[in-house]
Amino acid sequence: MKSYQVIATLLLVTIALAQARNAYFVFQDGSHKDEFVIKLSDPAKIQHARALLAKTTEDQPRIMGTIIKREAWYNSEWSYELNTTTIRFFDTTAEVCDADIAYVEEHLAEVGTHFLPGNVWCPWQSYLVREL
């Protein structure tokens, strides 16, 4: 096998392994019409999300994280995503980071100013609906 073929094979294996470690979950907010996809890489967070969906826990059912103003391939309906490393689950938090999915999209240019300071988003009425 030629060296470029070995490199290409290793790259494909690396990508496949990285994807196997990620899990993708869909959540809705209080509007019950919009859906947003998050990518989780932390095994404990993936396990918690699956437990929420299986209804084996009711602890910390809400989703929060830091907004990145760019489209993600797995969430192409929106012009933003959540930074995977900042995503966490919560019960209650400060009101200053609450907004619904569509409202964030409509006011994306203001995110990080008086609206969602520090780009932190915590939709209070968020809840998981399924795993992709």
Would residue 92 count as lying in a domain?
yes
Q: Which amino acid is at 127?
A: Y
Residue 36 lies in a domain: yes
Determine the structural domain holding residue 77 and report its residue range: 22-131
14 has a pLDDT exceeding 50: yes
Type and span of the H or E element at 130? strand 127-131
Indicate if the pLDDT at residue 9 is higher than 60: no
Number of domains in the chain: 1
Contacts of 52 (CB under 8 A, 6+ apart): 58, 61, 89, 127, 128
Does 10 have pLDDT greater than 60?
no
With contact defined as beta carbons under 8 Å apart, do 40 and 25 qualify?
Answer: yes
For residue 1, being part of any structural domain is answered with: no
| Amino acid 16: pLDDT | 47
H or E segment and range at residue 51 = helix 43-54
Calculate what percentage of the chain has a pLDDT beyond 70. 85
In a domain, residue 11? The reply is no
10-36: average pLDDT: 76
Question: So what's the pLDDT on residue 31?
Answer: 78
- Res 50 pLDDT > 70: yes
pTM of structure: 0.82
* Higher pLDDT among residues 51 and 95, named by residue: 51
User: What confidence tier does 41 reach under pLDDT thresholds 50, 70, 90?
Assistant: very high
Q: In whole angstroms, what is the distance from residue 48 CA to residue 50 CA?
A: 5
Q: What is the pLDDT averaged over residues 38-55?
A: 98
Q: Tell me what pLDDT residue 120 has.
A: 97
Q: How far apart are CA 29 and CA 97, in angstroms?
A: 14
Q: How many residues does the chain have?
A: 132
